[in-house]
Chain A
Amino acid sequence: MAGLLCDNCGAINSPGNQVCQHCQASLEDHLTQPEPISSDGDVPGQSQKFNSTGHLGFPVDDHLGSEGYDSGHKQSPLAELGDVIPIETVVEEISKPKPYSLKIRVTDAQRTNIRLLEKLTRTEAGSRPTPKTSNITTQHIIRILIMLFLILAISWPIFFDPPHLPLPAADSNVSSFSQHILSLPLDAPVLLAFDYEPGYASELDTSTTAVLDQLMSRNAYLTLVSTSTSGAIQAERAISIAEVKAARIYEAPTDYVNLGYIPGGATGLIGLSTGIRSTFPLSINGDQVWQSPALQDVNTPNDFNLVIVITDSSATARTWVEQVRPNLINTPLLMITSAQVEPLIRPYFDSDPAQVDGLIVGLAGSVGYETFTGRIKEASNLWGSFSMSVVAAAGLILFGGMVSAILAANKQGQDYPGGE
């Protein structure tokens, strides 16, 4: 028979008790505790009720009527579900849940990667000390040695009396340049463009001075312009140097005029080509110069007797040729350029018809021009040092190339021994 479960203390009492033996609480309205089933499946005092699948249900009291309901005892709600719930499945399923650890399962490989990532992120946040390097490296030593070698080569002709180094002869470039100046009528207006940076003054000042000297000997009226912002002051400096070397006095605005800076690059030169007066209404000093006798007939660059461009940039030289030269019908265009510009401007000089009518290039051109005119010897004084420095530089390049080739061959031999 089923025991009676006390609702108050949970103790099992014998059936028929009205009061709990433990806590003396009333046993009315209680739940009937099902008795355990014996090994042969029979519940004492109860008949086994098997459903069609052979599952044992909860034991059913024998005193229950056909309805399975005992009016004298209050049954649990589950008692009516006698052979519905399979007991083995329920018993199997009702078990204590497995204890799962809250810790994440991490493998050794993952642990290694985690440590690596932590290290990377830790070093990113903080500043890393720079590796200590030596103050003097091999590169410093090589650089100093090269500089000392070149200084020695340059200083040798100054301190010692070297064998006579022949000066470059005046070639066709120089002679045609000089001929154009010598063919100028006296007091002719000449347009001079000073389009070089102060850094290249050492290379271009000598030839500029020689040319200015020859122009001054013809009393040419010099009109100075520039597409470079520093050109105006470069022009004034060149005039003052030429005055000293040529022992002449050239004053503005009677002998020359400085019109100043042409803004806009190529578009500025187009404006100059089409109308120089609108481009420069006044000189750099604010003088009204277009009414002067020298410039009263000048409206475009073609009205000048000569246009000379002094430049260190191939782009500037090409811009003058492209924008101004097409408008020069009877006026020659001459150029004084740095040595680095010659490869790009030479085609304009060598072409037939020539777009550049005269060309003086670098220090060699300056020496040639001075030799041709026979007056100033500024560039000639530098020629000895320049020749020695060129020989020294060529020797260094050859030596360095040979050393690099030998080192590369050795390295290749080490990387691929036996020709493999």
Chain B
Amino acid sequence: MSIANLTPIDLVGALVGIFFTLSIFSYALGDNALFRLAIHIFIGVASGYIVVVTWFNVIWPKLILPVLEWENTTNDNLIVLVPLLLSLLLLTKLVPRLTTLGSPVMAFLVGIGVATAIGGAVIGTLFPQVIASINLFDFPTWDQNAGLFWILVIESSFILLGTLTALIYFHFGAHSHNDEPPQRTGWIELIARIGKFFIAITFGALFAGVLMAALTAFVERWNFILTTFLSVF
């Protein structure tokens, strides 16, 4: 890529990208005006874009247009008014005197959200993962290679051990004896310590993933700056 191959808009875009990238990198020197400028522009652009998308993708086609085109539809169904009416009632939460009018709508939203989350967690995660943990010891489906068999047994046992001990770690039922402070039962406490070990490894893996994602972004941005400078200048 050379400067001759770049259109003006591409060149401007590249220079703007370099400017904002370096502005964000300047945070290494401490909080400064350039960094704040970049952040404010980003927030402003993102907010404006969200407003536009929400209006043209959600509010206009799904809330207002069905009401305006109600008479043109083959079935004159008053149900198109329900979302609009509920949305207007929800806006009353902004007015302290009228806030009780929006409470039923808010309750409806919260109820739907909670039901969705619980249903999804049970049907989408809990049951399938329990079945998968059981299937770890489904011997007939394993490879019949003897060498591989015991490795699979150890691996499956390790996974089962980690699953159970991590779950038991979050059991916080405690009993107090005489005047001593409440404590968990001895065997639960021992198992919970093993679970803590597995949880710590999980957090380490999560941290490693976050670090790798951040390094990838850093590498790509610095590579962009260097290759742009080298190619253009």
Chain A residues within 8 Å of B, Cβ to Cβ: 140, 143-144, 147, 150-151, 154-155, 158, 199-200, 202-203, 229-230, 232-233, 260-261, 263, 265-267, 270, 281-282, 284, 312, 318-319, 321-323, 325-326, 338-344, 347, 350-353, 355, 362-363, 381-382, 385-386, 389-390, 393
Contacts and interface: CB of A to CB of B under 8 A. Distances in A.
A340 B206 contact: yes
B125 A322 contact: yes
B3 interface: no
Contact of B124 (A144, A322, A385): A322
Given A318-B125, A382-B223, A340 B217 contact: no
Interface of B: 25, 28-30, 46, 49-50, 53-54, 57-58, 61, 112-113, 116-117, 120-121, 123-125, 128-129, 131-132, 135-136, 138, 141, 202, 205-206, 208-213, 215-223, 226-227
Nearest to A135: B30
A262 to B, nearest CB: 9
Task: Determine the main DSSP class of B at the interface with A.
Answer: helix
18 contacts: A154-B218, A200-B213, A200-B217, A202-B219, A229-B53, A261-B54, A267-B113, A281-B61, A321-B124, A339-B208, A339-B213, A340-B206, A343-B202, A351-B131, A351-B132, A352-B138, A353-B132, A386-B219
Contacts of B30: 140
Task: Determine the main DSSP class of A at the interface with B.
Answer: helix
A347 B129 CA distance: 8
Given A266-B116, A339-B216, 12 more contacts: A158-B226, A158-B227, A230-B46, A230-B53, A232-B53, A263-B54, A339-B209, A351-B132, A386-B215, A386-B216, A389-B215, A389-B219
A48 B113 CA distance: 108
B57 A284 contact: yes
B49 A382 contact: no
A150 B25 CA distance: 12
Contacts of A232: 53, 57
Contacts of B121: 322
